[in-house]
Structure 1
Amino acid sequence: MTLVFAWSGGKDATLALHRLREAGVEPVELFTTGSAETDRTSMHGVRWRLIREQANALDIPHRRVDIPDNADNETYEKTMAALLEDYAARDVTEIAFADLYLEDIREYRERNLQNTPIDGRWPLWNEPTDETAREFIDLGYQATLVCVTDHLGPDFLGRTYDHDLLADLPDDVDPCGENGEFHTFVHDGPHFDHPVQFDHGDTVTRALDDTTHHYLDLT
């Protein structure tokens, strides 16, 4: 078995990677999608340099997958198809994802893998998100909220993902932000050789898919 990991830089990906490594499974590569125009990751808006430093601290090779900013679905799927073709040629047999329970996202990923020799793997699938959140914190990982929607509010930007934050989340916000309410950047913890250093920069607000997102720039 040869496994690569769809890496976001956030807490769910970090916990999924932790589970794999504790089970003796070592990814040969992490890959992250993002934009060459913005020099940031797609979902979390984190600078590429910080993602590279994460991978260095985790001691795993990292692959940057550039997708044009505001690309349509056809462009995205062509890029991912080329990625899967390359991985298949390298005898990769599995891709691990950190999805928790959104069936439509898992079905979409499975459709993309359907005509390839590569299987999907979901280390955290269908686990209760309140337990998953507490496990991540109790293991000693350190994460910061770097993106929130208006549903949670910009006051949560920059906060540490810890038990106090979980207690402050509104009842209708998933403890892991699985519905997109927030995203995190992990900078230290088990399996990190050293902490990833950063400062808090400016806050940026953007409307995406009829939802307002607030981003904290980590510099």
Structure 2
Amino acid sequence: MKLSDNKQSDHWVSLFSGGKDSSWALYRALGDDRDVTHLLTVHPSEDSYMYHVPETGLAQLAAESAGIELIEIDPDDFDASSAVNASTQGDRELEPLENALAELDETLTGGITGVTAGAVESEFQTSRIRGMCDRLDIELFAPLWQRDPMTLGKNMIAAGFEIIIVQVAARGLDSSWLGRTLDTKTLSELATLNDRYGVHVLGEGGEFETFVTDGPHLSRPIEIEYTTTWKGTHGYIDVTNATLGSK
């Protein structure tokens, strides 16, 4: 698969879930004067190996607040049912994303310059995204990659990100963590849980998932109402209403 040659315009696509990591990658890209013209959100199945799963439907509000066009990929676009292992499933989950980027490239003057990604330590995800970018002959901007997790968390908070925890699935994280704000106190507690149970400070191993309700890249905050569901060892929030507020 080959993308358009002779690229002249700068078109960046941000792989975006609305979570803290993809939002930070977007924020950093904008701060580096990369022209992010599109956000691309994948709505995967619940057993996805490649993508952030919970509450990706809120990405539409985040895109509206950021003033950037959103492209969405629905679960029906995936066919990983016959995958024999995680590696094969990861490869198949990447196919609709790669196809969507190729199709978008055809519509943009000069084609796509590159994509942003919020991976911190996951070689499983990053190697596949890097390989996709190589095949499409586009750049990869991954500003969180291999950075110190605690420093990243503190930087997000200092920049004005308002982050809530929307899903947890790890020892040491009970139902009280659902809907909790990721602030400096929370980071400190996560560092303690890292020492005790190995919980990743930024949830990179799937220990928890987040959503960014406000930040410097957003013109209006996202206000949500929700209930919580707890299933013994893991849980998540169910958003019942979400709107854009005012600053």
TM-score w.r.t. structure 1 length?
0.85
1:11 touches 1:143 (CA, 8 Å); kept in 2?
yes
- The equivalent residue for 2:218 is 192
Which residue of structure 1 aligns with residue 244 of structure 2? none
Answer yes or no: is the 8 Å Cα contact 2:44–2:53 preserved in 1.
Answer: no
Gaps of 5+ in 2: 1-9, 81-88, 241-247
Amino acid at match of 1:97: A
Alignment partner of 1:105 is 2:130:
no
Output aligned runs, 1:46-195, within 5 Å. Answer: 46=55, 48=57, 50-68=58-76, 71-72=79-80, 73=89, 75-89=92-106, 90=108, 91-151=111-171, 152-169=173-190, 170-171=193-194, 172-195=198-221
Contact map agreement 1:150 1:214 (CA 8 A) in 2: no
- Counterpart of 1:94, as a letter, is G
Q: What is the aligned counterpart of 2:40 among 19, 23, 31?
A: 31
Q: Which moved more, 1:13-22 or 1:180-189?
A: 13-22
CA RMSD of aligned residues (A): 2.4
When structure 1 is superposed on structure 2, of 73-82 and 53-62 the one drifting more is: 73-82
1:200 aligned counterpart, secondary structure: strand
Deviations 1:90-137 (A, max 9, x none): 311201101112223211112223321222221222211100000111
Kindly, what percent of the aligned residue pairs are identical?
27
Conserved in 1, the CA contact under 8 Å of 2:14 and 2:36? Answer: yes
1: distance between equivalents of 2:100 and 2:188?
A: 40
**Counterpart Cα distance in 1 of 2:31 and 2:154:** 18
CA contact (8 A) 2:19 2:210 kept: yes
The whole-number CA distance in structure 2 between the counterparts of 1:213 and 1:33 is 23
Cα contact 1:7–1:32 (8 A) shared by 2: yes
Classify the secondary structure of the residue corresponding to 1:198: strand
Q: Which residue of 2 aligns with 1:218?
A: 239
SS in 2 for 1:137: helix
AA aligned to 2:18 is G
How many pairs are equivalent? 209
Q: 1:27 to 1:68 in 2, by over 3 A?
A: same
1:14 is matched with: 23
The farther-off stretch of 104-113 and 162-171 is 104-113
Match of 2:229 among 197, 203, 212: 203
Larger Rg: 2
Taking the aligned partners of 2:189 and 2:204, their CA distance within structure 1 comes to: 17
On the 8 A contact 1:2/1:92 being kept in 2, the answer is yes
Q: 5+ unaligned residues in a row in structure 1: which ranges?
A: 207-211
